[in-house]
A and B are shown apart, each in its own frame.
Chain A
Amino acid sequence: DTEVTQTPKHLVMGMTNKKSLKCEQHMGHRAMYWYKQKAKKPPELMFVYSYEKLSINESVPSRFSPECPNSSLLNLHLHALQPEDSALYLCASSGRLGGSPLHFGNGTRLTVT
């Protein structure tokens, strides 16, 4: 069983909807990540939180808004998405900066109609 839990597993939303993806880990990790993965491509980094503060934003459009309420939770708020945003969204956590393996959740398959 994965130690990083993501909900929902699947999400279909219209371009005018607002939705949120949720991620939870209980491994005591202080770094949490959002990745986006298109079919047949490697994951692309979107955001990194370290000790609950946003450390990295990989020039992600503002229609994606991350939030880290506490050290165990990570949210990704979605608003006014485009069909090209349809992808697998993966959450991950790691114990420390650099060199520590990332532990990924099962992902949320997002379809924007």
Chain B
Amino acid sequence: AQKVTQAQTEISVVEKEDVTLDCVYETRDTTYYLFWYKQPPSGELVFLIRRNSFDEQNEISGRYSWNFQKSTSSFNFTITASQVVDSAVYFCALSGSNDYKLSFGAGTTVTVRA
């Protein structure tokens, strides 16, 4: 069985602060994929990043960065210099290599105050 845990339910910060969202996963698959999605109040789930289990390189995209550590089964997400537009629910998700089903974490609600 696959499981994704996002222990932080809500995070509130002031603009320009950094925010780190934790994601811990469980799987028995040797090949798997990890994802982060953003869901703003409008409702659409926006794909942010995919990582496969063989690629532990960290990635940076603008103000977003991701830290994948297989040793601790974690795939954490950091928003640097947060902005009000970053306010959303962020979901971490996991799938196997031959699996249609995405296992979502419970989500972390990020509120960035001006």
Residues of A within 8 A of B (CB): 2, 31, 33, 40-43, 45, 48, 50, 55-56, 88, 90, 92, 97-99, 101-107, 109
> How many B residues have CB within 8 A of the partner chain?
24
Q: Could you say which of A31, A101, A103, A105 has the most chain B C-beta atoms within 10 Å of its C-beta? A: A101
Q: Could you say which of B44, B91, B97 has the most chain A C-beta atoms within 10 Å of its C-beta? A: B44
Residues of B within 8 A of A (CB): 33, 35, 37, 42-47, 50, 52, 91, 95-102, 104-107
Interchain CA distance A66-B99 in the complex, whole Å: 20
Q: Known contacts A45-B101, A109-B43: does B33 contact A99 (CB below 8 Å)?
A: yes
- Are A98 and B91 in contact, CB atoms less than 8 angstroms apart? no
7 more A-B contacts (CB under 8 A) besides A41-B106, A56-B100?
A: A55-B100, A88-B43, A97-B99, A98-B98, A99-B50, A101-B47, A109-B43
- Are B44 and A98 in contact, CB atoms less than 8 angstroms apart? no
A-B contact pairs, 30 of them (CB 8 A): A2-B44, A31-B100, A40-B107, A41-B107, A42-B91, A42-B105, A43-B91, A45-B100, A45-B101, A45-B102, A56-B101, A88-B43, A90-B45, A97-B98, A97-B100, A98-B33, A98-B95, A98-B98, A99-B52, A99-B97, A101-B35, A101-B50, A102-B45, A104-B37, A104-B46, A106-B42, A106-B44, A107-B43, A107-B44, A109-B43
